[in-house]
A and B are shown apart, each in its own frame.
Chain A
Amino acid sequence: MNDLERIERIKAVLGERAAEITNPSPQRIFLTVPARTLVPALEQLKTELGYRHLSTISGVDLGDVFEILYHFGYDGGNLNIRTRIPKADPRLPSICAVIPGAVLYERELQDMFGIIVEAIPDGRRLVLPDDWPDGNYPLRKDWKHVRAAEKIPGGKS
Chain B
Amino acid sequence: MKFQIPIGPQHPALKEPISLRMTVEGEVIRDADLRLGYNHRGIEKLAEERTYLQNIYLTERICGICSHSHTTCFVQGVEALLEVVAPRRGQFLRYLVAELERVHSHLLWLGVAGHEAGFDSFFMYTWRDREVVMDILEMISGNRVHYAINTLGGVRRDIDEALRTKILDSLGILRARTDYYFKLGANEPSFVGRLAGVGRLSKEDALALCAVGPTARASGVAHDVRRDDPYGIYGEIPFEVCTADSCDVLGRTVVRIKELGQSYNIIEYLLRNLPDGPVAVKAPRRAKPGEVVSRDEAPRGENIHYIKANGSDKPERLKVRAPTLANYAATLARLKNGFIADIPLIFAAIDPCICCAERTVELIDGRSGRPTVVRWSDLRRRAARRAGRVSKKRNVECPL
Q: Which A positions have Cβ atoms within 8 angstroms of B?
A: 24-25, 27-28, 52-56, 58-61, 69, 71, 73-78, 80, 99-105, 108, 112, 125-129, 131-132, 138-139, 145, 147-148, 150-153
Contacts and interface: CB of A to CB of B under 8 A. Distances in A.
B365 A127 contact: no
B200 to A, nearest CB: 17
A104 B225 contact: no
Contacts of A52: 207-208, 210
A99 B210 contact: yes
A2 to B, nearest CB: 14
Given A56-B304, A100-B208, A27 B229 contact: yes
A139 B223 contact: no
Interface in B362-391: 362, 364-365, 367-373
Interface of B is mostly: mixed
Interface string B7-46: 0000000000000000000000000000011001010110
Given A56-B319, A100-B329, 10 more contacts: A56-B325, A58-B306, A77-B228, A77-B229, A112-B361, A127-B360, A138-B45, A138-B360, A139-B45, A139-B360
Interface of B: 36-37, 40, 42, 44-45, 80, 207-212, 223, 225, 228-230, 290, 292-293, 295, 302, 304, 306, 308, 316-317, 319, 321, 325-326, 328-330, 358, 360-362, 364-365, 367-373
A78 B293 contact: yes
A-side binding surface: helix, strand, loop or mixed? mixed
Contacts, number: 123
B210 A101 contact: yes
Given A60-B308, A139-B45, A73 B302 contact: yes
Given A55-B321, A145-B372, A25 B80 contact: yes
Contacts of B330: 101
22 contacts: A25-B80, A28-B292, A53-B207, A55-B210, A55-B302, A55-B304, A55-B326, A56-B306, A56-B321, A56-B325, A73-B302, A101-B210, A105-B321, A126-B37, A132-B371, A138-B360, A138-B362, A139-B360, A145-B371, A150-B365, A150-B368, A151-B368
Contact of B373 (A104, A132, A147): A147
Given A27-B229, A138-B360, A101 B370 contact: no
A100 B306 CA distance: 22
B210 A53 contact: yes
Nearest to A27: B229
Q: Which of A52, A55, A153 has the most CB of B within 10 A?
A: A55
A67 to B, nearest CB: 9
A58 B302 CA distance: 15
Nearest to B333: A100
A127 B389 CA distance: 35
Nearest to A59: B319
A102 B368 CA distance: 34
A76 B229 contact: yes
A128 B362 CA distance: 8
Nearest to B316: A60
Report, nearest first, the 9 A-B pairs whose CB atoms are least far apart: A101-B210, A56-B321, A58-B319, A101-B209, A138-B361, A127-B37, A58-B306, A148-B370, A145-B373
Contacts of A55: 210, 212, 295, 302, 304, 321, 326
Contacts of A53: 207, 210, 223
Given A60-B308, A69-B306, A73-B302, A54 B361 contact: no
A27 B361 CA distance: 31
A139 B44 CA distance: 8
Given A53-B223, A150-B365, A112 B210 contact: no
